[in-house]
Structure 1
């Protein structure tokens, strides 16, 4: 009797060991770094109020735990958009997304693990087609008034309603037929030339206005000066200028006055020296220079 019980116990343990080996992957569940799990119980359904964090979890083989990546993920996607005139525009985008951590059980229950294919990509395509379909190809190609950015913002908000966070949608490339691209580039080049000509015209207009204002200022200044000038001031300024020229170290100067109040005759730079010796020396040098040069006419003989 004891042997029968012992044999039965051994057989039972073997069966349990075999089952454990076969169902090990359903009993011992590991959530790695950056992952979280949602448990579906066979008899009660999805656990909405519990998220299984990183680590090892032991569950019933009848239950199913689904592991979700909770870190940022990137999906590359390409699709076509029709412009308002029916021209096909091919967009290549990169989507950076992740599931909302606190809403993982709801996401699992209502959408499922393949939420990228069910929600993210279809909704982004739908919003982008709807927003860009009302513009011309050149407006889309040049991102006129930031229309691409506005479409991306709307797409991100739409996806966010389905328990998924989209950090950014990056447009990797925007492809048009080659002849359309060339036509758009030629148009942009001509527009830049036109802006350049308009800028030059504005610059010339401003320069003309500046010159007119400058001429008016000079005219007014000359009018004020002419009203305040007197013969005495002119004679005083002439004497000052004559002294400065006479003291010059770089030239020999001959200045002859004219009229009733004409300025005195000045020869050389020693005329206003305070040293009599130097003044005489300068006069002698000037006399020698006069001897070697043609005789100047006397001021009294000038007409």
Structure 2
């Protein structure tokens, strides 16, 4: 466009000095040639637009936005038209309670009220992208700052609308996946109506009130103590069972001895022991007792 303006001025100057009475009239033709060249160069440079990868170009001429989009690469357009690049790559919008972690400075977490009236703090990341064919409509109806006009308010509103169906503890534990699927469906419908595609919704963190945290911790500690006591009781039962089996074995052994050993058996064992003593090379004295008594063995 700059070269075209210079070319127009050069042509005007060439025609202005094209008067025989002027001493510089001889420069009229060079001015016209230079002006024409500048017009051609300016027209070509203004007509060729480069669109980077991951973007599309939206063409507007005197406020009228064309539905035709420019694809990545070189494109020929009206030199008077304005081309605005729209990013169609995957984008993320993070709302977090950690300072400088999201798009907004400071605490930007989402505070919601649950079904039991408790305030829960949610950190969230939205992954989305603009549908390329919908870029002209988005530019016409919303502009280029659609993240602040659509993504942020829609996401925060839908999360608050759906959190009221869950208790705080359930939202934190058992119903977390269900809650995430529910808000994904609601936000996805709103995004599609605006020409955007929701890729993923990441519930990064759910922070419960301090009182609820303490209640949950107390419950967990009580459950751990109960499990520990069950283990101790089970161990004591096993030890009692072991002692009972041991006592039963001793009783059975004694019963076998009482019923299985006769006097003749004892005498036979006594004779065997005496024969072994007699065969021993050690000097000894064996005093035989009366029948039924064990001998007394003396050695030096």
TM-score, L = length of structure 1 = 0.59
Match of 1:61 among 66, 79, 101: 79
Q: Are the structure 2 counterparts of residues 297 and 122 from structure 1 closer, same or farther at C-alpha, using a change threshold of 3 Å?
A: farther
Instruction: Indicate the residue corresponding to 1:193 in structure 2.
Output: 221
Q: Are the structure 2 counterparts of residues 86 and 184 from structure 1 closer, same or farther at C-alpha, using a change threshold of 3 Å?
A: closer
Q: 1:229-276 CA distances to partner (integer Å, 9 max, x unpaired)?
A: 999xx86xxxxxxxxxxxxxxxxxxxxx752344624559xx9xxxxx
Q: Which runs of 5+ in 2 are unaligned?
A: 1-14, 19-25, 96-107, 295-300
The Cα shift of 1:53 comes to 1.8
The Cα shift of 1:126 comes to 1.0
In structure 2, C-alpha distance between the alignment counterparts of 1:104 and 1:40, rounded to whole Å: 12
Matched, 1:260 2:261: no
Match of 1:96 among 127, 137, 141: 127
How many equivalent pairs are there?
Answer: 252
In structure 1, C-alpha distance between the alignment counterparts of 2:236 and 2:85, rounded to whole Å: 75
Q: Are the structure 2 counterparts of residues 87 and 8 from structure 1 closer, same or farther at C-alpha, using a change threshold of 3 Å?
A: farther
Q: How does 1:7-156 map to 2 (within 5 A)?
A: 7=28, 10-11=31-32, 13-14=34-35, 17=38, 27-42=47-62, 45-48=65-68, 51-77=69-95, 78-84=108-114, 88-135=119-166, 137-140=168-171, 142-146=172-176, 148-156=179-187
TM-score, L = length of structure 2 = 0.60
Q: Are the structure 2 counterparts of residues 143 and 13 from structure 1 closer, same or farther at C-alpha, using a change threshold of 3 Å?
A: farther
The Cα shift of 1:111 comes to 3.9
In structure 2, C-alpha distance between the alignment counterparts of 1:15 and 1:264, rounded to whole Å: 139
Q: Which runs of 5+ in 1 are unaligned?
A: 236-256, 272-279
Matched, 1:164 2:196: yes
Contact 2:57 2:70 in 1 (8 A): yes
Instruction: Indicate the residue corresponding to 2:4 in structure 1.
Output: none
The Cα shift of 1:193 comes to 2.1
In structure 1, C-alpha distance between the alignment counterparts of 2:244 and 2:111, rounded to whole Å: 62
In structure 1, C-alpha distance between the alignment counterparts of 2:94 and 2:63, rounded to whole Å: 39
